[in-house]
Structure formats: structure tokens, C-alpha cells
Chains A and B, each alone.
Chain A
Amino acid sequence: MTAFWVLAEPNADGSLARISTEVATLARTLAEASGGTCTGLVVAAEPGTAASELARFLPSVVAVTEPAVADHAWATIAAQRAADIVGEDPDAIIVLGAGPDGRDAAGTLAALTGRGLLVNATGVTWADGLKVEMSVFGGKLITDSGFTGGGGIVTVRPNTVTAEPAAAAGAIEGRTASGELALPAVAVIEQVEEAGAAAPIEEARIIVSGGRGVGGAEGFQLVQELADALGGAVGATRAAVDSGWIPYSQQIGQTGKIVKPELYLALGISGAIQHKVGMQTAASIVAVNRDPDAPIAEFADLVVVGDLFDVGRELLAALRARSG
């Protein structure tokens, strides 16, 4: 019987990160398919809130009170506590989100335990063993991989599954972290909130993204307004970020984020390979571009040839007219 574990990520305010609700849903489905168990782990200074949220998705949750993460980087510490709780079971499968904290924790956990690691899953299924689907080479190829020894660690991309609570809430077991930490803890000496910080774009259902054609920081005002009207997030190309029009956190592509939203609305984006690899698995791709021969026309569902500001303003007016 395979034991599945979810190492959940708490948000700064103590709530559960959205990615963890998706990871929990996926792990529960796998446990059901394999006839195995599934346990969630929350490691936080005050794990109560996140643990209650996680228990909506999983039959059992261990809430680990770890005061050290109140003022130290979370991932290194959480990985050590998770390694202790999961123990030696070589067949255990530990699932995490593929965001910054999940990656940090997964890499640490793999090194601490010697377990195998499969990263950036875009799908995970169980059929006589675990099969992890990954999109590689900028989306040109899909691979299915597995662990040679049964168990291992998997990081899962946002929007791989839709989060769905279980029929009944699970049990929560509280524990207090104990024992020396073998790895050096890194102190967090200041936490700074920046105005206008957006929700993580990897998690957005709709992304409105701007490229060189947007022309400047002022141009991103329209991009933002469209994103707001559609209930989405703002993305950008490397050119727009390097020009200082929008923060790096919004960059999509080879050196930025990889996203898989339901809708990707690309404004003034040519669709060069470095950007394409970050967004081409979006369910729907719509481009507004003056150049009908831009590379994005080769993989978009709809290309509107025209000025992005003219078309964008018309679209904004139409969306606002609908929402009344």
C-alpha cells in the first residue's frame, strides 16, 4: 500500500496556498486509485488555519507547530520536519507544488532522504505504479516518467488539476516540532510588502500579457484594466520587464514563469521561442498584433490584426458593458 504525502505551503497570513489545494486534490485521487493512504503535512509557527483548510481535501493532516519558521526561511526547515515524519518508507510518494517554496523544499527533501525527484508534473496518474507527465523542450514533447524504486518526490505545476474538497473533512493531528535541525536556518530579518503586488501569475485562470508593442509603463495601464475586467492577472515578456515597464515577477517565458491558464491574451507580443515556451500550453491563446506574420500567429487560436490599444479599448468597453 502506497503512502502519499502532501507537503502543504502556508501563506504569509497563515492560510493555505492555493497550489496546495490542487496538490492535495491530486494526491487524494492517486491514493484512491492505488488503494493507498494520503496524509497532509503543514509546518508553520501557527499551523491551525492552513491545517483546517487542508483537511477539507485530505482524510488526514498532521499540523506541525514549528516556531522557527516564524522568522526563518520556511522551505529548508519544513523539508527537514517532513523528512522526519515520512520516515524511512522507500515507497512513500511526497507531492509538492512547483512554485518557489515547493521547489526549495523538494530539492532539500530529496537530498536529505536520497529519494528520486520528478519535477513540474503536468499530470500524474496511477496504473500499477505512478506515471508522471511532464512537458519538456518548451512544450514540444510530453514525457511520462516513473520512479525506479517505487517511491519518490513529485513537484506539480499550478493548474494541473482543479481543487475539489473531499466528501468529508479529514482528521487533524497536532504535533510540536522537536529535535535539532541539521541544516542551517536562514533568518528572515524583514518582510516587505510592495504595493500592487499581484497574485502569482502561475495560478491565474486568465492572463493578459503585454510585450514590446505595449510601448511603456503607461501602456500597461490598459493591460491591467483588461486583466481586471476579465478577473485575470497581468503577464509580460522579457523585453517589457528588461525595459522596466513591469516587475520581473510578472515575466513569462524561458527565464521567467511557465504558465498554463485557460486564456492567454497576448497584446503586442511577437511570440518568440523564449516567450512561447512559457505560455504555449495555455488552453486558449488570443493575440492582438499589428504584424499578421508574427510567430505567435503560428500557435494562437485567434489573431486579431490591429493596434493593441484600439482593439484593447474596444474589448474593455465591451466587457464593462456586459458586467454593467
Chain B
Amino acid sequence: MHIVVLTKPVPDPAAAAERLGADGRLDRAASPSVVNANDEYALEAALKLTEAHGGEVSILTMAPAAGTDTMRKALAMGAARGTLVADAALAGSCLRSTVQVLAAALREMEFDLVFAGADTSDGGGGVVAAGVAALLRLPYLSNAARIEPDATAGRVRVRRITPTGYDVLDAAMPALIVCTQALGEPRYPSLKGIMGARSKEVATRSLADLGIDAGSVGGAAATTAVLGTRKPPARDATRVVRGTAQEGAAAIIELLDARRLVR
């Protein structure tokens, strides 16, 4: 079984150094980059499945050329190889370009399943995977808490989390699955994995390689634009209450009353 995991380098949320440049685009130099946390859950799920059923995991990333540094961590977790789509013309891409490029890259790859994380910590839309599935005419299964492929039957079953429980979905492979944290915690790369990742293959593909007209994607063709930015309004000063539990509870009730949060 071959699984491709979509991974995105994002500004490290823990560094809290994200900012936009003057052009309204993410200033990638301002912040260290990490693998998007939700993508690590998807990668972990893929690794577990290939460990159980055989096969291998590869990762697909669309990012500037420096994206290979972040991809090494995903490779250290156990992915066999990576593909990086990098092209100067992709700067300023809107969601439509991202979907188009990832779909084009997947068309050139062989897979039984494509996995994606629930959303990214920078863009946060959670919409790219559905778009990729639509362009590739793949069955789309989202919000997955359990994934059970049956290679012999060529089908996959997914528990999709719903507001009241879960649905069991069934689809033919190849299919695209959006993973959630409910699939289990990602592993830490082992020392051996980290060493081995250095020599793993990362193929870099340009727009020309994928047969995409550079004028049809990136900032020049963006369907959306940032018009302006502002700081969120500052929060009021924090009131700190130390004392007995009764006094603490009374302070909370006082706030609830003042803000009409209780009857």
C-alpha cells in the first residue's frame, strides 16, 4: 500500500513570531518553520498502516525551496521519500492555486491513499484537501477517527466523527482521507530516523515539470487579496483574586452578573 501524505511547513506557533510582509504575504523569514501539527497526525496514521499492511509513505509539500529542511523531520518519522513543489511563481498563491498545484503533483504519483491533516495552523481553512479530491475525482473521506483499508477488496473504511457520534464511510481506493488527532499521537523521530532522513530522496518539481502555466497560479492569478491588517483590540487588564474558595467563586459570580452571562 502506498500512501502520500500532504504536509505543509508552517511558522512554528510556539515561537509566536508570525507576521505578514508589506505585500500582505506571510513573512517566512520572520519565524522558524515546522511541520504543521495536524499533518503529523496524518503521517503517523499512514506510517502505522504501512507498518501493518506493507508499502511505504511519501510526503508531498508545496513550499519555497527551503521547505526541504522542514520535510526532513517528516522523513525522520519514517516517510520513505518526499516531493517538494517549489517555484518562484508560486509566491502569493491563493487557495485555488494551492489546490491546483497539489492535484497536478499527485497526478504524477502512484498511491492507494492520500492523507491530509485536518487543517493548518497558519491558513486554518481546512478546505484544500476537499478541493484536491474534487479535481482528481477521488472519493473524499474527512474527519477520520479510524481508517481501515482492505487492499484485497481495494476499499477503505473510515470512521468519520459527527456531532453526535460517528459515521462509517466506505469507498473504493484510491481515495483521499482527512485525518484527525483521534487517530493517535505522532511518534518522535528516532536518532536512527534522523540520521537516515538526511539521505532520503526529496524530488523538487517546478511548475514547468508539472505542466502548469506559471501565469495561472501564484500572486498574479490570485482570486483573493489582503486589503488591510490591524491589531485585535487589547483585552482589559486582568483582575487577580487570591483568597478563599468562597471569595474566588464570588468574584466569578460578580463577573458573570456584570456581563449578563447568567440569569
User: Smallest distance from the beta carbon of B227 to chain A beta carbons, Å?
Assistant: 5
User: Smallest distance from the beta carbon of B17 to chain A beta carbons, Å?
Assistant: 9
User: Smallest distance from the beta carbon of A185 to chain B beta carbons, Å?
Assistant: 8
Instruction: Report chain B residues within 8 Å CB of A255.
Output: 37-38, 41, 118, 181
Could you say which interface size class chain B belongs to? 35 or more
Given contacts A116-B96, A194-B164, contact A303 B238 (CB under 8 A): yes
Instruction: Report chain A residues within 8 Å CB of B168.
Output: 188-192
Binds A, one of B66-74, B78-86, B250-258: B250-258
Given contacts A73-B140, A277-B121, A315-B253, contact A186 B171 (CB under 8 A): yes
Q: Report whether A107 and B245 are in contact in the complex, using a CB–CB cutoff of 8 Å.
A: no
Contact flags (1/0) for A176-199 with B, using CB distance below 8 Å? 000000111011111111100101
A254 adjacent to chain B (CB < 8 Å): yes
Q: Report whether A116 and B223 are in contact in the complex, using a CB–CB cutoff of 8 Å.
A: yes
Contact of A188 among B118, B169, B263 (CB under 8 A): B169
A119 adjacent to chain B (CB < 8 Å): yes
Helix, strand, loop or mixed for chain B's interface?
mixed
Contact of B252 among A183, A193, A292, A304 (CB under 8 A): A304
Could you say which interface size class chain A belongs to? 35 or more
Chain B residue nearest in CB terms to A118: B224
A251 adjacent to chain B (CB < 8 Å): yes
Q: Report whether A314 and B240 are in contact in the complex, using a CB–CB cutoff of 8 Å.
A: no
A166 adjacent to chain B (CB < 8 Å): no
A266 to B160, CA, bound (A): 29
Chain A residue nearest in CB terms to B103: A111
Helix, strand, loop or mixed for chain A's interface?
mixed
Instruction: Report chain B residues within 8 Å CB of A156.
Output: none
Residues B134-169 near A (CB distance < 8 A): 134-135, 137-143, 145, 157, 160-169
CB contacts between A and B, total, < 8 Å: 302
Residue of A100, A118, A319 ringed by the most chain B CB atoms within 10 A: A100
Instruction: Report chain B residues within 8 Å CB of A302.
Output: 238-241, 251-252, 255
Residues B162-198 near A (CB distance < 8 A): 162-172, 175, 180-182, 185
Q: Report whether A141 and B232 are in contact in the complex, using a CB–CB cutoff of 8 Å.
A: yes
A6 adjacent to chain B (CB < 8 Å): no
**Chain B interface residues (CB < 8 Å from chain A):** 11, 13-14, 16, 18-20, 24, 37-38, 41, 94-96, 99, 118-119, 121-135, 137-143, 145, 157, 160-172, 175, 180-182, 185, 222-232, 235-236, 238-246, 248-253, 255-256, 259, 261-263
**Chain A interface residues (CB < 8 Å from chain B):** 11-12, 73, 75-76, 79, 98, 100, 103-108, 110-112, 114-120, 131, 135-149, 152, 155, 182-184, 186-194, 197, 199-200, 206, 230, 238, 241-242, 247-249, 251, 254-256, 258, 262-263, 265, 273-274, 277, 281, 283-286, 288, 292, 297-307, 310-311, 313-315, 317-319, 322-323
Other A-B contacts than A188-B169, A194-B165, 11 sampled, CB-CB below 8 A, are A73-B169, A76-B133, A79-B134, A108-B134, A139-B232, A141-B20, A146-B227, A230-B261, A273-B14, A286-B252, A288-B252
